[in-house]
Amino acid sequence: MGGRAITVLNVAEKPSVAKSVASILSRNQGLRVRDGRSRYNRIFEFNYTIRGQPCQMLFTSVLGHLMELDFDDRYRKWHSCDPADLFQAPVHKFVPEDKKDIKRTLEEEARRCQWLILWLDCDREGENIAFEVINVCTAANPNLTIKRARFSALIDREIHQAVQNLVEPNKWFADAVDARQEIDLRIGATFTRFQTMLMKDAFVIDTVTDGRNTVLSYGPCQFPTLGFVVERYWEIQAHEPEEFWLIKCSHRSDEGVANFSWERGHLFDYTCAVIIYEMCIEEPTATVTKVTPKEKPKYPPHPLSTIELEKRASRYFRMSSERTMKVAEELYQGGFISYPRTETDNFSSRTDLHAIVQEQQGHPEWGIYAQRLLDPGAGLWRNPRGGGHDDQAHPPIHPTKFSAGESGWSQDHRKLYELVVRHFLACVSKPALGAETTVEIDIAGERFSACGRVILERNYLDIYIYDRWDGSMIPNYAIGEQFIPTTLTLDPGKTNPPPLLSEADLLSRMDKECIGTDATMHDHIKKLLDRFYATKDANMCFTPTNLGEALVMGYDDMGYKLWKPDLRAVMERDMKSVSEGNKSKAEVLDTSLQQMKTCFLDARLNKVKLLEAMAIFFERLNRVGSDEQNGTGVVVRRCRLCQESDMVLKKNRDGNFMVGCRSYPQCRSVVWLPGSISEAVVTTNACNNCTPGPVYLIQFKFQQLKIPPSYNVNHLGCIGGCDEILTQLTEICGTGSRMPARGRGPTASTSNVHHTNPRSTASTSNAHHTNPRQAVCSHCQETGHSSNDCPSQTRRSRNPQYPGMNQQNGESSVACSSCGTPCGLQTANTDSNRGRDFYSCQTQGCRFFVLEEQNIVHGFETAICLRESYDLYYRRWVDDLNNGSEGRSFPRSNSTPASNRGRNGGRGSRGRGRNGSNSSNGTFVSATGDPISDRRCYTCGDPSHFANVCPNRGGL
């Protein structure tokens, strides 16, 4: 080229990068510095030659993105339009006020230049910023020649090579980022406005957010990330421990101890396990059937990508992904490591790996190892294995400059730099080598195995201190050898729930499901914490907050996958296609936004689901005129007692569903619901029978193992009094919880509604702020009334009905000899006893008795009681009375209600009359009204009682 010097405007992404590149190119000779319009972005001047062309170089910078994308002014206020309009509202890119000075500097300098060289970071985001700079500069000088410098490290050889091999900027990369920005803006703004305006003024959530301005944000990447956290939390809550049994075998000799593992692993069937174990005990001689020696390598890690750097820093140092990227960026800007945002885990053949190792030979900790690597006689070197990922932009993260620790470095800087160096040195090292011997034995036909290992060569383990691979010696065995085990035991165990997601786990899930990019994943995780959707403990594990769980639950109840990764993964793949030139930006925008608009419109129609989910965790605000407060999603009917407030579906402190008056405790009207309900949602359908209306129907879902098999798990019911099935199930299951509620800690709620996760087998309760001086009712555990006037007991006495029967309006003719209460005449409607009359005591203590597991033989009670004790009714048939048994007394129950017993149930006496004697001619029936046949007392043969309460058994 030669000839007259041209003026070149160079623009970097950050001031520190501009200073570093200018210093490298000028070699700090003849470098002049002056201020620009922005005091943070100075201008460096020096002379340089590019492929023989003399150049006067002007080097300045921006501060990340120069422009922002937003809606036109008329759409920017939250109440300015319907949120759905934001899917097609006009958007534009502009330079915000705080970056106007940078823009002026670029315009002024561009007017006197002939070339523009872009030194932005070499990824999609950097390419997008490059085109923002191009737009500003070409508006001031349309005749600019535009070039792009591509580099991966701020070191001499990279920078000089980049400026001598300039390329064209990549418009496809920039378009992919533009598409992502517009998709995220439109979807995020639409759902965020919808969520926030719907629930901010409907629930007390200020204390959850520490009193800050509450914005319930939604992001296409943020919500799937939250979904991973909530889903794992639900898996943990839903876990039911299962007991299993395994046979353990060990053998001790002079050479050591071998612990043998059972080939079956473990069995859940105790009887089978005992039978096999007894076979082994009867013939305990172990015979060695196989001895397999082999060499086993342990390979070093693949070269370091961004995701792996974040995951390993989290595991090894408990450093957050956000902090990791901040420190890595500072190390990169200082020239100590290569560009830290890369998906590549494979070094190209052009990379001089030996030169990188040579720079580390003088380090006091790993310098000697680096020297061994470079010594051919040591035989330690091995070309690194590739992980199969290459973004075609940057190499794996590796050290670019030696440092024994800079004075300005924090401990995090030292740890991260050390990790990068050790990881690189491990990558170019031979794998560790061990000798493993597997021994298989046979005991009574059962196979067991043990494995021993001896480390032969440590190799990369000497430098990569984060990996562990220990040896374990076992005795030498020969095929056919026999011995008697030192120990042979049958041990119990229980299945464990999965652990909470750690930050490394969460990053892996995001990477696998294509949620975000290597440069943005840490931002999405931070957003969850900033928005109070999740918390992170000292072990770097995430737990959803009530707010995060409620939002995910609401969308999940709608049946949509807005919290699942699928939709975003499709968008990410489409944006990658844009970056590769396979799809246009307009095509991807149209497809993605149309799909999400349909989801939004459906979600808005089903907003009641969000409100119901929030109501589980948060107290409602009593705002007059609020549409949501009076919505049919919560209100069931008008209170017939006070005739002023609404009856609403909620949960009591024990996590059980109830319909109570909003004016509680002034009005104590309440309808108690079956304790076996797992989910309940008020529908918009009103009952046609109950008056005054409307009485809205409730969609119930029952726990299958807690109701008789003749009842459907899903039931659309009415609490107005016309629903016989609901009444029957209330009496069968009671209104109490069979398991204690699991505390979740305090929240902002001050109501007496008990909160629970309907997906979990363990309930989720919130603490409440109550007056400690208030008495608590012994029946319902609520405050505001005494046990004498508990509405639950009042309701029960007014409306006695029983499972499997129709109440008739007849006069009671038999009094209970146990408690003296008149016994109501009932008629059974089950198949086996249809039309048969009986008397049933209405006193709660006399209606129940507890049937122990060992006394259950027939019917659905067998399936239920394998899990827990179950309540059955004892009834007196009228035709039995007519046959001469009128004088017999009804059995009294154990005084412990079924709702208050634990998993193993009460163990008190059952089937006894006042004098402790059993009713001789009574018939035991199940909760469905069917008799328990073919079961008699094995002591005296009487079918009316069981042996443990037999009056002829040992004087009992």
Residues with active-site annotation: 339
Other Cβ atoms closer than 10 A to 60: 24
Q: Is there a contact between 261 and 472 (Cβ–Cβ < 8 Å)?
A: no
Beta pairing class for 53-61 and 6-12: parallel
How many whole angstroms separate alpha carbon 205 and alpha carbon 618? 7
Other Cβ atoms closer than 10 A to 180: 27
One-letter amino acid for residue 756 of the chain: T
Rg (CA), the chain: 37
Q: How many DSSP H helices and E strands does the chain contain? A: 23, 33
* CB contact set of 498 (below 8 Å; sequence gap of 6+): 232, 235, 236, 239
Three-state SS letters, 805-844: EEECCCCCCEECCCCCCEEEEEEECCCCCCCCEEEEECCH
Q: What are the start-end ranges of the E strands in 690-786? A: 696-702, 714-717, 742-746, 764-767
Other Cβ atoms closer than 10 A to 843: 18
Maximum alpha-carbon separation in the chain:
128
Q: What are the start-end ranges of the E strands in 497-645? A: 534-536, 542-544, 635-638
How many whole angstroms separate alpha carbon 202 and alpha carbon 212? 17
Residue 127 burial by Cβ neighbours in a 10 Å radius (0-12, 13-18, 19+): buried
Q: For residue 894, what is the DSSP state? A: P
Lookup result for tokens 């995951």: 311
Closest-CA residue to 187 (of 217, 230, 160, 145): 217
Other Cβ atoms closer than 10 A to 114: 16
State which H helix or E strand residue 456 sits in.
Answer: strand 446-457
Query: If DSSP codes are grouped into helix, strand and coil, which group holds residue 257?
Result: strand
* Cis bond before residue 694 (omega within 30° of 0): yes
Query: If DSSP codes are grouped into helix, strand and coil, which group holds residue 767?
Result: strand
Q: Is there a contact between 783 and 752 (Cβ–Cβ < 8 Å)?
A: yes
**CA 326: distance to chain centroid?**
26
Strand pairing partners for 764?
742
CA angle in degrees (0–180, nearest 5) for 136-139-142: 120
One-letter amino acid for residue 691 of the chain: T
Q: At what angle do helices 521-530 and 306-317 cross, to 10 degrees?
A: 50
Phi, psi of 423 (to 5 degrees): -65, -45
One-letter amino acid for residue 297 of the chain: P
Query: If DSSP codes are grouped into helix, strand and coil, which group holds residue 167?
Result: strand
* Cis bond before residue 485 (omega within 30° of 0): no
State which H helix or E strand residue 356 sits in.
Answer: helix 353-358
